[in-house]
Amino acid sequence: MNVRCSREMAQSLGSALYKEWAKRIFAIECSNNLEPLYFALSPTCEGPWDENSRLHQLLTRGQTYSICIASENRIQGAESYAHLRDKLTRLPERCRVMELMAFSPNKQGSLIKGFLVQDDQNSKGTERVLQDLVRESGQTSLCSYTRDDGGRMWQRLRLVTDGQQREIFSNCISLAERPELHPSVLNIKNSVVFCKYEDAYAVLEECAELIPKAKDVLQLADQCNRTSRKGPFPVIVIEGLDATGKSTLTESLRESIQATLLKSPPDSIGHLRKTFDAEPPLIRRAFYALGNYITASIIASESEKTPVIVDRFWHSTAAYAIATEVSGKVANLPPPHHELYQWPQDLVQADLVLLLTVSAEERVRRLERRGEMRTKEEIELEANSLFRQKVEATYRRMENPACVVVDASASKEEVLKNALLVIEKCCVIERT
């Protein structure tokens, strides 16, 4: 169906959304343990199709819709996506909600995120709820999926205005091959992993009117001396999941080698974590990234006088962001040596990064003994072994510098001894 979009339609859908819509590949995340289902679009039924495929079986279960978010303003887009996700959790239990991605294979920044919604009862009420969500945002599209007399599936892209529906595009669905990179990898750089100071700064600058506390972070960042380099004393970063013994080891190392102990984000903005943890990933990750640069300015100064121990730094910021953003299996992570695993060139570089590891069972026992309030990500780590595996795998793929693994399951004295052996081997340092 060839329908020309008016200027008003284009503005409502958002140029990033409708531009070359039919040339995109779509991916449906049905389960963390299964490969996403990929499909392509065409105005005719020339592409491959199989009525026995998982994709056909999925799309013919009840009435199916999809909603995608695209915006010229990334802050608005991130907020709209978070709002949409929250609203969809309130649908009746009979409705299934799955993640949907539309992208151009191997094209950075091309990913458009959304959701696939299915209602087994074909209720008109569900469609009305989705239409209302579309009306709330000018960057949201609504698609329905139907089966023709020949057994082929069609995606119909619709615009809802003034209570009326207009079909913009109608395309036949065909099976598509798995892309080289998992689609979520395409949008990680500069959206949840920031490899330059300016990129993280720009995000908080854009949302400063929406989140006033962002101005406090920007003000501290402006005060940092970003031209200074690391001093002659070594900088040693301690990484690892919660309850692997980081705090114990960092304190012991501070005493053993007479070091300055720092953490990221630093105390100057640490009290703002609760505020930014409640924000969408784009904003939350920019906050933590900028926190690394603020910590780096302190590292540069302190390493002129003493060795520096840092409790978490860039590796943890990137590892948690990548593992969270990439859905599904460990195999979906960016491949080894991908640019996302490289230390930012404008960030003061550590001389050594120690990654503390313990078994999953031991880590849970330690958490229970501590009885502390845990972050949303820490709760996810405990409940979702697959997420934990992705975080650990991402840590081990970090480069320049890579993580040196230290078994932290032994006594604190033994862990300290082993850590000091690694430090003495890799760094020139005087012990007292």
169 plus 298 within the same structural domain: no
Tokens of 50: 């199989």
Task: Report yes or no on 369 lying in a domain.
Answer: yes
Residue 66 lies in a domain: yes
Rounded-to-integer distance, Cα 128 and Cα 354, Å: 53
The label of the residue with tokens 């930014």 reads 276
Please report, for residues 94, 108, 110, 120, 214, the alpha-carbon distance to residue 29 in angstroms, rounded to integers and kept in the order given.
Answer: 18, 20, 18, 18, 33
Helices (H), 326-411: 360-370, 376-383, 385-397
DSSP letters along 393-408, please?
Answer: HHHHH-BSSPEEEEE-
Contact assessment for residue 295 and residue 264, using Cβ atoms and an 8 Å cutoff: yes
Dihedral angle over CA of 385, 367, 248, 265, nearest 10: 70
For the entire predicted model, the pTM comes to 0.89
Predicted pLDDT at 197: 96
List all residues 6 or more positions away from 266 whose beta carbon is below 8 Å from its beta carbon.
Answer: 291, 294, 295, 298
Q: Of 185, 205, 226, which one is at a domain's C-terminal end?
A: 185
Residue 160 in domain: yes
pLDDT given at position 373 = 46
- Cβ(265)–Cβ(275) under 8 Å? no
148 shares a domain with 198: no
Burial of 5: CB neighbours in 10 Å, binned 0-12, 13-18, 19+ = middle
Beta bridge partners of 142: 67, 158
Helical residues (DSSP H) of 137-272, grouped into ranges = 197-206, 213-223, 246-256, 267-270
What CA–CA distances, in Å, run from 66 to 99, 120, 156?
9, 15, 10
Q: For the chain, which residues score pLDDT lower than 50?
A: 1-16, 373, 432
Task: Tell me how many degrees the CA angle 60-65-66 measures, rounded to the nearest 5.
Answer: 125
**179 and 214 within one domain:** no
Please count the CA atoms within 13 angstroms of the CA of 323 that sit on its side-chain side: 27
- Residue 84 lies inside a defined structural domain of this protein: yes
- What are the contacts of 216-221 at 24+ separation with CB within 8 A? 216/269, 216/272, 217/269, 217/272, 217/287, 217/290, 217/291, 217/294, 218/290, 220/268, 220/269, 220/294, 221/197, 221/290, 221/293, 221/294
Maximum CA extent, the chain: 82
Quick one: 151 and 259 in the same domain?
A: no
Same domain, 285 and 331: yes
Residues 176 and 196 in one domain: no
pLDDT on residue 335? 95
**Is residue 257 a part of any domain in this protein?**
yes
The pLDDT, as a whole number, for residue 395 is: 97
Query: Among the three residues 131, 162, 185, which one is the final residue of a domain in this structure?
Result: 185
Q: How many domains does the chain have?
A: 2
- Listed in sequence order, the residues at least 6 apart from 216 whose beta carbon sits closer than 8 Å to its beta carbon are 269, 272
246 & 382 share domain: yes
Domain shared by 223 and 169, yes or no: no
Beta bridge partners of 261: 309
Residue 368 makes CB contacts below 8 A (sequence gap 6+) with: none
* Residue 351 resides in a domain: yes
The last residue of one of the domains, among 156, 185, 214, is: 185
Tell me, yes or no, whether 148 lies in a domain: yes
Please, which contacts does 429-432 make with residues 24 or more away whose CB atoms are closer than 8 Å? Answer: 429/233, 429/234, 429/257, 429/307, 430/257, 431/256, 431/257, 432/256, 432/257, 432/258
Residues 38 and 174 in one domain: yes
Instruction: Please report, as a single letter, which amino acid is at residue 48.
Output: P
* Residues comprising the chain, all counted: 432
Residue numbers of the domain that contains 356: 190-426
Q: What is the predicted pLDDT for the residue at 159?
A: 64
Same domain, 255 and 376: yes
Q: What are phi and psi of 87, to 5 degrees?
A: -65, -40
